[in-house]
Amino acid sequence: MHSPAEKTHDYPRASRALLLWLALGYLTFAVYGSLVPLDFHGRPLAEAWLAFRDIRYLNLSIGSRADWVANILLFIPLAFLWSGVLWPARGVIRRALVVLGVFVACMGLSLAIEFTQLFFPPRTVSLNDILAESIGAAAGVMAWLAFGSRLMAWLAGWRSAHSPLDVWGRVLYLYLFVLFAYNVLPLDLTLSPVEIFHKWREGRVVLAPFSFVFANPIEEVYGLLTDILIWMPVAFLWRFARPASRLKPLLAVVLIASLLEFLQLFVYSRVSDVTDIFTAALGAGVGAWLSGRWAGPAQEGGASHSRAWLWLGFALLWIGVLAAIFWYPFDFHTGRAFLAERLQSLHKVPFEAYYYGTEYRAVTEVLHKTGFFLPLGLLLALGVAQIRHYSWRQIADWGALIAIGLAAFGIEAGQLFMPGKNADITDWVLETMGGVAGYAGARLLGARLRNHQNSNKKIGHAWKANAGLTAAQDSLRVNRPAAVRDSDHA
């Protein structure tokens, strides 16, 4: 058994280890993403140095503002995470040295990346990027100073959550954070009334509900359904994190959706549409209803093979939905020359296809690929959780993970036969990661909730046993002979 003091030190160490892995992973992503598509062209170092000394500051238009913000955002998590990894437990001077060291290291990395990009001609080298990345590094260090301790406490809180309400609440806050972050991208912000007026003239401010014009009815149905699905988890999680009537999560979702639409008014490339508030309300209603239906079977407890097959059926149904989404409009071509050309496209380096487009489009595609496969992992995890036998459950775990990979492979293989689709190894990796993340998250969440439930049962049994022992002692005392009871008092 650990003492309370030892446990208090364990949590920061575990959180710091997590920060280290995140920092290493993000550093790799930042360097790799800055050099994609890895089209290396050799040149003499002296020539490259002269070219680097002559790089210019470029005037930014409204269309380039998103790229400027993207470079700032790229270095904020980098400086934030490494500040957390190197942050000393105490000492003002040591902390000041960490702040200065991280900032200088990030600036050095920015200069190194920009210089290296001279050998990769598709990349643009400018003083804008260096300045933006330096601003991002400074913002990341300041963010750690302001919120670092809270983040460490929040990470430690995942392991020390005292009740299911704490667990559900943390999942809710995490989901809302991702939802807000995505809906204000690409952060090409504007406060200019003239630019907002032009945005309205271009049809990106829609005040009349359901008046936005789609290319065809299928896209309209897809857009409305995805907006509903996005908001369903908010109300669902809200009901478990803050048990209340179904009306409160509904009102909360409407207020949050209204706030997001207002914020998107100042993001030049985003569409502010009143319709999204109505679809959010509908999604909240469905999520609140599902939470009520979910609570009933969850309280019954126990596992059932019939329920396992039911969740498997839902998973197969969702695979059908994925096929409909990713294969629409189903214009399959089977010509040999066409397939040979399509197979050549699989030789792209990872994330090369995401380079040729806007940052917002790249983020959207990543969330699109991972997000649609999250429910598949969730459904498979719910099915596996119904299996009582340990060995069979272990086999089912591996089977579920293999099924996720095969489903993603089937989706990408089908897109090979469609000229309007982009079959890519990167997409298969992202889809598999999304499914695995949904599966692992559901299993971990279920394990944490079961631990709380078992703890509550043990406490309840102990309380009942203690109450029964006290009652037995009282009964024994009452039934003892009067002379013995008198001697006790004496």
Express each pLDDT in 193-221 by its tens digit.
Answer: 888 888 888 888 988 888 887 778 888 88
Nearest to 16 by CA among 167, 177, 170, 155: 155
Query: What is the structure's pLDDT at 253?
Result: 92
Of the three residues 270, 300, 330, the one that is the final residue of a domain is: 300
Over residues 239-255, the pLDDT tens digits come to 888 876 778 888 999 99
Residue 173 and residue 291 in one domain: yes
Residue with tokens 């999250």: 374
Does the structure show a pLDDT above 70 at 56? yes
Spatial CB neighbours of 144, under 8 Å, sequence gap ≥ 6:
79, 80, 83, 84, 87
Backbone angles phi, psi at 189, to 5 degrees: -75, 150
Residue 189 and residue 228 in one domain: yes
Nearest to 28 by CA among 82, 68, 67, 66: 82
Query: What is the structure's pLDDT at 490?
Result: 44
Higher-confidence residue: 468 or 121?
121
Is there a contact between 231 and 253 (Cβ–Cβ < 8 Å)?
A: yes
Residue 217 and residue 151 in one domain: no
Lowest mean pLDDT of 58-62, 112-116, 376-380, name the range.
Answer: 58-62
Residue 296 and residue 176 in one domain: yes
d(CA 347, CA 425): 9
Residue 60 — pLDDT band, cuts 50, 70, 90? Answer: low
Over residues 374-393, the pLDDT tens digits come to 999 999 998 898 888 888 88
**pLDDT > 90: percent of the chain:** 32
Residue 1 and residue 147 in one domain: yes
Residue 273 and residue 367 in one domain: no
SS3 label, residue 82: helix
Residue 415 and residue 381 in one domain: yes
Of the three residues 300, 317, 338, the one that is the final residue of a domain is: 300
Residue 384 and residue 331 in one domain: yes
Of the three residues 267, 300, 333, the one that is the final residue of a domain is: 300
**What is the number of domains present in the chain?**
4
Higher-confidence residue: 88 or 160?
88
* Residue ranges making up the domain that contains 186: 161-300
Over residues 243-286, the pLDDT tens digits come to 767 788 889 999 999 999 999 998 888 888 999 999 999 999 99
Residue 176 and residue 149 in one domain: no
**pLDDT > 70: percent of the chain:** 83
Residue 430 and residue 440 in one domain: yes
Residue 292 and residue 244 in one domain: yes
Residue 256 and residue 317 in one domain: no
